[in-house]
Amino acid sequence: MKIYNTLSREKEEFIPLMEDKVRIYACGVTVYDYCHIGHARSAIVFDVIRRYLKHKGFHVTYIRNFTDIDDKIINRANQEGITWDTVAGKYTDEYYRDMDRLGVGRADAEPKATEYIQEMIDIVKGLVEKGFAYEADGSVYFSVDTFSGYGKLSKRDPEEMIAGARVEVDERKKNPLDFALWKKSKEGEPFWESPWGLGRPGWHIECSAMSLKHLGESFDIHGGGADLLFPHHENEIAQSEAFTGKPFARFWIHNGFITIDKEKMSKSLGNFFTIREVLDTFDPEVIRLFLLSTHYRSPIEFSDEQLHESETSIDRYYSTIMRINDFLEKDYNVKNDFSNSGKIFKDLLFSFRDRFGEAMDDDFNTALALGHIFEIIREANRFLDHKPSGTKDRELLLLTKELLSEAGSVLNIFDRTPHEWYLSLMKIKKIGLSEQDILEKISERQDARQKKDWGSADAIRKELEEKGIILEDKKDRTDWKIKVG
C-alpha cells in the first residue's frame, strides 16, 4: 500500500517499522472553543486511516492528544472569569460529544499536555545539556542553527525564512526562528515548577513528549491538518530528533482544509461552522460521506448543496438495502443456477473487495472507494430489476449487503437499518408527525385505495409529501420514507 509522505512529497510504499504493528500519532485540538467542521475533517480522516489499517490486519496503536494549556485557553478563561482548567475541561467534554456523534472512535490513548509536564521538562533539560537549547530570562528556546535538518519537512531554507519579514523579533532569541520549549509564566498565569523557574511548556514540546512516551523514539505515522506542517511539525521533528538522535516519524500525513468561498475555514476569518451547527441539519453519516467523497489531501468546499447531495447518496444506499430486504423476505423457488443477469452481477460483486482495497491502498482514496460502492449499488438495483430468482441469486444479494456493510465499516458509514435511518431523518428534518401518525395515514389511504378512491388516496399522499414524507406503494403494502436532497 502507498501513502503520500509530506517528508518526501511522494507516495511511498508503506512498511511499518515493526512487522505488523502500526504506530500513529495525530495532533488533536486545543480545547478552548467548540470544534468546527474543519476539525471534524481531520478527525474523520485519521479515524478512517486507523480503521483501514486495522481492517488490513495491522495491530494499530493510535494516539491523539489534547492541548489543554495554551495562550488561547488562558485568554478564554480570563474573558469568562473562570479558571483555565475549567475551560479545557469543558471543551474537552464538548469535543467528545461532537466526535461521538460523528462516529469518530476514541484513540488508544488521548493524552493531555498537562499530564506530561515532567516528561517535557526532562526533554527540555536534555536538549539544553546537549547544546540544542538555551535558557534566556526564565524561558528555554530551541536553537534552530544547531539542528542541521531544520526545514526538511516544510522544505524551507532557514536563511530565507529569516529574510521573510513575518518572523517575530524577540530580543531573547539568538535566531528569530528559535522557538520556545519552555515559557516563563507571566503574573497570574498558570505555572509549573521547573529548573528554570516557574513556567509552562511551549506548544510543540507536548507532542514530542507524548509521542515518545506512548510510541517510542521512532514510529510510523504522524498526522494533522496541513496548517500544522510549519512550524508545529517542523519544530517537533527538530526537538525530537535532536533529543533522541533517532529518526522521528517515518510518514507525515497532512489533510487538506475545508473552504468557504474557496477560502480556508478558520477561526480568525470567522467563516466557520461548528460541528454541532451542521449536525442540527444533517445526519452524522451524511457529514462523514461528504468529507470522505473528496480525497483527504484536497480542499473541500463546504456547501449546503453538497451536503444535500451526500444525503441523497446515503439515502440511495438505504433505499437499496430496503429493496434487497424486500426481495429476501419473499418466498423463493429452489433453483441452483444463476440467472443471466446474476452471472454478470456476480463478476462485479466478486471483484469488489479487490477494487475497494486497491482504492484504499492508494493513499486512502476514499473518493474512488465510494465510487466503487455506488457502482455496486447501481448494479444491485439493476439486478433486482431483472427479477432474480433461486438460491444462487439470493446468495448474491446477501453477499451484496455483506460487502457493502464491510466496506462501510471501514468508513464507519452504513451501520444502521433503513428504518433507523428514516427515524433519524424524521428528527433532524423536524417532521411534525410521529411514526404512528404516518402509519395511521397509510392505513387510511389503503382503505381508500381498496375502494379505488384515488382522489382521497392521492390527497393523503400529497398531505404527507408536504410534510416531507414520501409514500412508496408496493405489491402488498405501502412504505414510508423521508424526503431527502
Q: For the segment 391-420, give every residue that binds RNA (CB under 7 A).
A: none
Segment interacting with RNA, rule: CB under 7 A, options 136-144, 155-163, 279-287, 427-435: 155-163
Cβ closest to RNA, residue 195 vs residue 485:
485
State yes or no: residue 262 binds RNA (CB under 7 A). Answer: yes
Say how far apart CA 223 and CA 26 lie, in whole Å: 5
Q: How many CA within 13 A on the CB side of residue 141?
A: 16
Segment interacting with RNA, rule: CB under 7 A, options 58-66, 82-90, 150-158, 415-423: 150-158
Which of these, 38, 50, 301, lies nearest to 293 by C-alpha position? 301
Cβ closest to RNA, residue 288 vs residue 461:
461
State yes or no: residue 330 binds RNA (CB under 7 A). Answer: no
Q: Where are the beta strands (DSSP E) in 274-313?
A: 300-301
Cβ closest to RNA, residue 59 vs residue 462:
462
State yes or no: residue 192 binds RNA (CB under 7 A). Answer: no
State yes or no: residue 446 binds RNA (CB under 7 A). Answer: no
Cα 151 to chain centroid distance, Å, stands at: 28
In the list 12, 85, 94, 227, the residue contacting RNA (rule: CB under 7 A) is 227
Grid coordinates representing 134?
538555551
Cα 304 to chain centroid distance, Å, stands at: 19
Cβ closest to RNA, residue 95 vs residue 219:
95
Backbone angles phi, psi at 326, to 5 degrees: -55, -45
In the list 111, 199, 201, 224, the residue contacting RNA (rule: CB under 7 A) is 224
Helix (H) or strand (E) holding 29: strand 21-30
Segment interacting with RNA, rule: CB under 7 A, options 96-104, 187-195, 279-287, 295-303: 295-303
Exposed/middle/buried for residue 238 (C-beta within 10 Å: 0-12, 13-18, 19+)? buried
State yes or no: residue 361 binds RNA (CB under 7 A). Answer: no
How many of the chain's residues bind RNA (CB under 7 A)?
Answer: 86
Helix (H) or strand (E) holding 255: strand 249-255
Contact 353, 370 (CB under 8 A): no
CB of 479 to RNA, least distance (A): 9
State the residue for C-alpha cell 535532536.
242
Cβ closest to RNA, residue 244 vs residue 306:
306
**Alpha helices by DSSP H, 202-283:** 205-215, 234-244, 275-281
Tally Cβ neighbours within 10 Å of residue 139.
20
Cβ closest to RNA, residue 110 vs residue 301:
301
State yes or no: residue 146 binds RNA (CB under 7 A). Answer: no
Which of these, 183, 176, 184, 182, lies nearest to 144 by C-alpha position? 176
Contact 266, 272 (CB under 8 A): yes
In the list 173, 214, 481, 482, the residue contacting RNA (rule: CB under 7 A) is 481
Segment interacting with RNA, rule: CB under 7 A, options 98-106, 218-226, 405-413, 434-442: 218-226
CB of 261 to RNA, least distance (A): 8
Contact 212, 244 (CB under 8 A): yes
Q: How many CA within 13 A on the CB side of residue 313?
A: 25
Binding mask 14-53 for RNA (x = CB under 7 A): -------------xxxx-----x-xx-xx-----------
Cβ closest to RNA, residue 82 vs residue 162:
162
Segment interacting with RNA, rule: CB under 7 A, options 157-165, 182-190, 242-250, 346-354: 157-165
Say how far apart CA 225 and CA 227 lie, in whole Å: 5
Cβ closest to RNA, residue 244 vs residue 381:
381
CB of 313 to RNA, least distance (A): 4
State yes or no: residue 55 binds RNA (CB under 7 A). Answer: no
Radius of gyration of the chain (CA): 27
Say how far apart CA 348 and CA 332 lie, in whole Å: 24
In the list 276, 416, 449, 467, the residue contacting RNA (rule: CB under 7 A) is 449
Say how far apart CA 260 and CA 198 lie, in whole Å: 42
CB of 328 to RNA, least distance (A): 16
Binding mask 84-123 for RNA (x = CB under 7 A): ----------------------------------------
CB of 326 to RNA, least distance (A): 10
